[in-house]
């Protein structure tokens, strides 16, 4: 490992202890490295504006950081066990290439605010991805709700309940993922604040141009309080995971529907073969493994949330415990976004089996229609309810007529898809 930034003469570094302290940080930092470089370029600009760096030094540092970014992206610079973390690697590279100018880059900042800004930039990008995927899912669902009006059995307690429709099913997921897109956008605005320049958590005796750095990094606002910036670590990560988790919970329930609907017992839905796998033993099997792993993916997000919640049992100020939050957000967002990214294609290609769907409709599913009709005609509802509970009153009906009569707002007869479309348009990224 290269010389440690904090190493002092006369203090022996124990390899085992240092290995424990570093953990897998340098591996995880590969995910955040480009964001750390981006923030370092902005920091160098800020130092030049207050006279810590000359214009030539700032230009040299900026050019070298751009080259490092290119080298890292191309695989020509590898972040490995030679370095304690990405911060050390960036500074070592600048000193190696630029000498005295490189030694100035850490003026006025700490690894405390350096990691805060790198992960903050990373979270912004991930939240935009969540928002975009939720918008895409909602768009597909809304399009299919407009064009597909097939009667579909509606279930409560996994028992046949009332006649529903594919339009109602699709509109439910459209609205759910619009909500999720909105939550991702709202969370983006929460975390869109610049902590760089708060240093170790107590400010520095330099008039850092934090407003300029905030503008360069395209943050929506400055995170003012240095202590508050440290308090936000973990809290903002948790908020981002909760936004992702909202979408993943909807994905889990949608995947559950498809798990049931693709089973032989229902057989309402055909999945394209690429979304299924076979059995190593049973030649007859095609298993819906993709939707099962989609259903399972929320567990990774929940685990990440739980880990950070447990880390946050801390007083104010920086604590090394929070180093472990990087692994949590990396794994949570990694698994969650991979699952969400497969959903749009799946929803575009699934097909309904109308024959099987029609076979699932039975006379008892019109009992609620009957009760409402009796009540509408003047019978007190509780009496109408008892009358409609009599199986002798049940009869097969036209399911489409039942659906068309469902004129309560949001029901099949008044889906209000234009209202959902307006919400979707409002939450699309600019």
List the catalytic residues: 157, 279
Torsion of CA 266, 268, 274, 276, to 10 degrees: -10
| Rg, C-alpha atoms of the chain | 28
Cα distances (Å, whole numbers) of residue 299 to 24, 295, 326, 331: 22, 9, 17, 11
135: left (phi over 0), alpha (psi -120 to 50) or beta: alpha
| Beta pairing partners, 193 | 221
Give which of 353, 156, 155 is closest to 271, Cα–Cα: 353
């Amino acid at each position: 490992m290269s010389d440690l930034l904090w190493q002092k003469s006369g203090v022996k570094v124990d390899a085992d202890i240092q290995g424990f302290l570093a953990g897998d940080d340098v591996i995880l930092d590969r995910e955040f490295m480009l964001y750390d470089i981006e923030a370092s370029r902005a920091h160098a600009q800020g130092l030049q504006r207050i006279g810590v760096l000359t214009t030539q030094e700032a230009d040299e540092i900026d050019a070298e950081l751009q080259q490092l970014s290119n080298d890292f992206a191309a695989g020509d610079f590898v972040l490995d066990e030679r370095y304690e973390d990405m911060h050390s690697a960036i500074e070592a590279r600048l000193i190696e290439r630029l000498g005295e100018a490189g030694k100035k880059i850490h003026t006025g900042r700490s690894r405390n605010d350096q990691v805060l800004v790198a992960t903050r930039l990373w979270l912004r990008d991930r939240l935009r991805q969540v928002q975009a995927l939720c918008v895409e899912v909602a768009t597909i669902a809304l399009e299919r709700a407009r064009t597909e009006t097939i009667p579909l059995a509606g279930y409560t307690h996994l028992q046949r309940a009332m006649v529903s429709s594919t339009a109602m099913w699709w509109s439910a997921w459209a609205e759910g993922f619009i909500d999720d897109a909105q939550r991702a956008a709202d969370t983006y605005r929460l975390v869109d604040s610049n902590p760089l320049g708060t240093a170790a958590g107590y400010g520095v005796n330099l008039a850092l141009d934090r407003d300029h750095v905030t503008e360069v990094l395209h943050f929506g606002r400055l995170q003012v309080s240095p202590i508050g910036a440290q308090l936000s670590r973990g809290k903002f990560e948790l908020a981002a995971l909760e936004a992702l988790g909202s979408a993943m919970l909807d994905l889990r329930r949608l995947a559950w529907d498809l798990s049931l609907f693709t089973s032989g017992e229902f057989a309402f839905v055909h999945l394209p073969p690429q979304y299924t796998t076979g059995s190593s033993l049973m030649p007859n099997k095609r298993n819906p493994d993709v939707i099962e792993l989609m259903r399972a993916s929320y567990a990774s997000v929940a685990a990440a949330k739980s880990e950070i919640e447990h880390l946050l049992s801390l007083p104010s100020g920086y604590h090394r415990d929070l180093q472990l939050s990087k692994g949590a957000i990396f794994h949570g967002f990694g698994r969650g976004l991979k699952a969400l990214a497969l959903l749009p294609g799946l929803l575009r290609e699934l097909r309904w089996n109308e024959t099987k769907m029609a076979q699932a409709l039975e006379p008892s599913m019109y009992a609620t229609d009957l009760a409402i009709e009796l009540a509408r005609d003047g019978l007190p509802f509780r009496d109408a309810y008892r009358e409609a509970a009599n199986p002798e009153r049940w009869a097969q009906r036209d399911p489409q007529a039942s659906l068309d009569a469902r004129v309560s707002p949001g029901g099949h007869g008044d889906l209000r898809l234009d209202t959902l479309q307006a919400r979707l348009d409002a939450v699309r990224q600019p």
